């Protein structure tokens, strides 16, 4: 499937510079399903399928899932598997710590009162409370993303209801699903990692070349003279001093002083 993502030449060919043309769309066929591509006025291109513009990062992200404020980055095509592994390992860690704290308090309370054990270990009680309230949100987030991986969906598509009846219309079939849970998991988590589209070693080419400033011999009012002007002035001063000394020497040779009496 080849997509021409270059904007039309007449897109910005308007008389007024402040005029913004209406949004333009382009339809492509993906696995028998018609998908609309929207034009991004910020990035100046038609967005590829499953691409959305992040207002925080200010660029288009391919297979945009969401912008995570906890990691400070967008979750997309190249880092979704690492984000899923992160929340999955975090849920296992929280459950493991919660089980260890409960076991620790249970063993220490044997042969004594349970309330006195809680008073003796306030740090364990605090850790137990934190793990108890955080494990539900972390497990819920892991379960939600497990459902997305099994269905080959993104958070953005699930919230907007792109392939469901959440918008009030007829439910459409997800063209990116492989109709198998195992195949979807392998495609999302174990598929080949695409190369980065950002050339971090490339040089930024300037759009316009600024003309070189015209230099004058005399500095402007309030401007500091450069080194070449200082050297030129010093040469002129030495040349004038040498000329004065030579003239005084010639005058002394023409009119010698009278001998002493």
Among the listed residues 43, 54, 68, 185, the single catalytic one is: 68
d(CA 63, CA 138): 23
186 is known as an active-site residue: no
Give the Cβ contact number of residue 83 at 10 Å.
19
Inter-CA distances, 258 with 205, 246, 250, 252, 261, Å: 79, 22, 17, 12, 9
d(CA 154, CA 169): 20
Quote the radius of gyration of the chain (alpha carbons, Å): 38
**Catalytic residue numbers, as ranges:** 68
């Amino acid at each position: 499937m080849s997509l021409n993502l270059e904007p039309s030449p007449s897109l910005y060919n308007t008389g007024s510079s402040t005029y913004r043309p209406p949004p333009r769309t382009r339809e492509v066929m993906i696995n028998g399903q018609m998908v609309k591509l929207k034009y991004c006025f910020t990035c100046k291109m038609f967005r590829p399928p499953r691409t959305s513009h992040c207002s925080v990062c200010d660029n288009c992200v391919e297979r945009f899932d969401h912008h995570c404020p906890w990691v400070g980055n967008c979750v997309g095509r190249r880092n979704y598997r690492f984000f899923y592994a992160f929340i999955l390992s975090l849920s296992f860690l929280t459950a493991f710590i919660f089980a260890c704290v409960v076991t620790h308090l249970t063993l220490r309370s044997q042969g004594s009162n349970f309330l006195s054990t809680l008073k003796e270990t306030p740090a364990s009680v605090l850790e137990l409370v934190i793990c108890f309230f955080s494990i539900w949100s972390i497990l819920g987030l892991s379960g939600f993303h497990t459902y997305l991986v099994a269905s080959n969906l993104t958070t953005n598509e699930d919230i907007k209801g792109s392939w469901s009846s959440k918008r009030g219309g007829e439910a459409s079939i997800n063209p990116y699903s492989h109709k198998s849970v195992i195949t979807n998991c392998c495609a999302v988590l174990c598929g080949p990692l695409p190369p980065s589209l950002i050339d971090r070693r490339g040089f930024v080419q300037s759009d316009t070349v600024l003309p070189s400033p015209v230099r004058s011999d005399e500095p402007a009012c309030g401007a500091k003279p450069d080194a070449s002007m200082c050297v030129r002035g010093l040469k002129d001063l030495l040349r004038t001093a040498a000329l004065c000394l030579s003239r005084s020497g010639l005058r002394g040779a023409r009119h010698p002083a009278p001998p002493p009496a």
